[in-house]
Amino acid sequence: MGTTPANEWTEHALRTLADAGYRSSEPRQTVIETMAGQGCSVTAREIADVVRDEGSHIGLASIYRTLDLLDRTGLAQRFEVGEGSARYEPAYPTGEHHHHIVCDSCGDVVPFEDEALEQAIERLAGRVDFAVNAHDVTLHGECPACSAPPRR
């Protein structure tokens, strides 16, 4: 396996933080690697659980502090899908990104991309009097499994 987007983001994030004068501690590296390792978005607790399952341990507070740092430096994007806890995911320097569909029955979150949607938002952003620098789109509904007829 060669260079994946996740690997690239990990390195980009570590380098960016180092360049900005932040120290490279093991907890920070682990949080970043764990985020990259998850397919899509993660919550603070999910990171803690994954790390614990790998035999290590990072205090929840440190995870929150790292996530906050990543968000503030633009290395990650924070968003919520309405289930109480914040989700974070890597933000690629290319601006490339996706959005999410949430199953309101089982809580499943799956990503999607849509160029037409991005264009509509871009045009809109140019028309409003806010300086728009990010956007969230979340679709709500039921996943195929949940909208299937009840099992018996």
Number of neighbouring beta carbons within 10 Å of residue 44: 21
66 to 85, contacts with DNA by CB under 7 A? 66, 68, 84-85
Relative orientation angle of helices 26-37 and 60-72, to the nearest 10 degrees: 70
Q: Which stretch binds DNA (CB under 7 A): 24-32, 92-100, 101-109, 132-140?
A: 24-32
Residue 151 Cβ vs a copy of itself, minimum distance, rounded to whole Å: 17
Q: Which stretch binds a copy of itself (CB under 8 A): 4-12, 33-41, 44-52, 131-139?
A: 131-139
The full length of the chain comes to 152
| Among 26, 53, 96, 129, contact with a copy of itself (rule: CB under 8 A) | 129
Site membership for DNA, residue 102 (CB under 7 A):
no
Site membership for DNA, residue 151 (CB under 7 A):
no
Site membership for a copy of itself, residue 150 (CB under 8 A):
no
Residues 11 and 34: their CA atoms lie apart, in Å, by 13
Residues 98 and 115: their CA atoms lie apart, in Å, by 10
Terminal CA-to-CA distance of the chain, rounded, Å?
44
DSSP per-residue letters across 9-57: HHHHHHHHHHHTT----HHHHHHHHHHHHSSS-B-HHHHHHHHHHTT--
Residue 31 Cβ vs DNA, minimum distance, rounded to whole Å: 8
| Among 6, 14, 69, 143, contact with a copy of itself (rule: CB under 8 A) | 143
- Give contact residues for a copy of itself (rule: CB under 8 A): 78-80, 82, 86, 101, 103, 110, 112, 114, 116-117, 119-121, 123-125, 128-144, 147
